[in-house]
Amino acid sequence: MTDTSSEVSTAPAADAPASSTGFNLDDFEVRVLAVLIEKSFVTPDAYPLSVNALLSGCNQLTGREPVMNLSEATILATLDRLAERGLATKRHQAGARVAKWEHQIRLRHSLTPPMQAVLTILMLRGPQTVGEIRARCERMHSFGSPADVEAVLERLDDKLMACQLPKAPGTKEARYAHLMSGEAALAQHLHAFETGEASAPRGSRVSELEEEVRRLRQQLEWLTNEFEAFRKQFQ
CB atoms within 10 A of CB 33: 26
> In the 8-state DSSP scheme, what is residue 22?
B
Question: Is residue 213 assigned to a domain?
Answer: no
57, 75, 107 - which closes a domain = 107
Q: What average pLDDT values come out for the chain (235 residues) when binned by 10 residues?
A: 37 40 82 98 95 96 95 96 95 81 93 98 96 97 97 96 86 91 69 52 51 64 70 70
Predicted pLDDT of residue 13: 39
Q: Are residues 94 and 116 in the same domain?
A: no
Q: Is 74 exposed, middle or buried (CB count within 10 Å of its CB: 0-12, 13-18, 19+)?
A: middle
Question: Is residue 223 assigned to a domain?
Answer: no
Q: Are residues 48 and 74 in the same domain?
A: yes
Q: Are residues 18 and 98 in the same domain?
A: yes
Predicted pLDDT of residue 14: 40
Q: Are residues 119 and 193 in the same domain?
A: yes
Predicted pLDDT of residue 210: 60
Whether the CB-CB separation of 224 and 230 falls below 8 Å is answered with: no
Half-sphere CA count of 189, side-chain side, radius 13 A = 23
Cα–Cα distances (Å) from 69 to 57, 187, 216, 229, in that order, read 11, 24, 20, 38
81, 107, 133 - which closes a domain = 107
Question: CA gyration radius for the chain?
Answer: 21
Predicted pLDDT of residue 166: 84
Q: Are residues 78 and 98 in the same domain?
A: yes
Q: Are residues 58 and 118 in the same domain?
A: no
Q: Are residues 115 and 131 in the same domain?
A: yes
- The stretches of the chain forming alpha helices (DSSP H) are 27-42, 51-59, 72-84, 105-109, 113-125, 130-136, 146-158, 182-195, 199-232
Q: Positive or negative, the Cα torsion across 215, 216, 218, 223?
A: positive
How far apart, in whole angstroms, are the C-alpha atoms of residue 136 and residue 134?
A: 6
- End-to-end CA separation in angstroms for the chain: 64
Q: Are residues 33 and 103 in the same domain?
A: yes
Question: Is residue 217 assigned to a domain?
Answer: no
Question: Is residue 40 assigned to a domain?
Answer: yes
CATH of the domain at 120: 1.10.10.10
Pairing mode, if any, of strands 88-93 and 175-178?
Answer: unpaired
78, 107, 136 - which closes a domain = 107
Q: Count structural domains, the chain.
A: 2
- Crossing angle for the helix pair 72-84 and 51-59, to the nearest 10 degrees: 100
Q: Are residues 77 and 63 in the same domain?
A: yes
Which string of DSSP letters, residue by residue, matches 81-122?
HHHHTTSEEEEEETT-SS-EEEE-HHHHHT--HHHHHHHHHH
Q: Are residues 26 and 51 in the same domain?
A: yes
Q: Are residues 167 and 98 in the same domain?
A: no
Which string of DSSP letters, residue by residue, matches 179-197?
-TTHHHHHHHHHHHHHHTT
> In the 8-state DSSP scheme, what is residue 19?
B
Q: Are residues 87 and 146 in the same domain?
A: no
Structural domain boundaries enclosing 153: 110-197
Question: Is residue 184 assigned to a domain?
Answer: yes
Pairing mode, if any, of strands 7-9 and 88-93?
Answer: antiparallel
Helix (H/G/I), strand (E/B), else coil: 177: strand
